[in-house]
Amino acid sequence: MKLLRIIFGFATGIVLAALVCWGGLFAYEVFLARALGREGSLFTTNPQAANAFFVTWAVVSLIAALGGTRIAGAGRRDRPRNR
């Protein structure tokens, strides 16, 4: 059961990181890029920005997944066992 909690924490961290990164990219595209009058997406106009985004997404996902694993694994350590 503990392994399942750790896997769930890992997956939750990755999903939350993906939502934050892709949500930020979407907000940038919708609000800032269109307000400035840019045509096309960030990835088609600037390939270096696309590379930076994917590297950042991978790093944030890894950190969030490890954090989720740590939080999920530390849940029941203080509870006494029934003998």
pLDDT in tens, 63-77: 998 888 888 877 665
Flag whether 82 is in a domain: no
* In a domain? residue 48: yes
Domains identified in the chain, total number: 1
The residue range of the domain holding 40 is 2-73
- Of the ranges 4-8, 12-16, 27-31, 46-50, which is most confident? 12-16
Say if residues 21 and 60 touch (Cβ distance below 8 Å): yes
Angstrom CA distances, 52 to 30, 39, 78, stand at 19, 20, 42
Nearest-CA neighbor of 41 among 68, 69, 22, 13? 22
Across all residues in the chain, what is the average pLDDT? Answer: 82
Q: Is the pLDDT of residue 78 over 60?
A: no
The answer to whether residue 78 is domain-embedded is no
Contact 21, 57 (CB under 8 A): yes
Alpha-carbon torsion, ordered 35, 39, 41, 46, to 10 deg: -100
Whether the predicted pLDDT of 10 surpasses 70: yes
**SS3 assignment, position 26:** helix
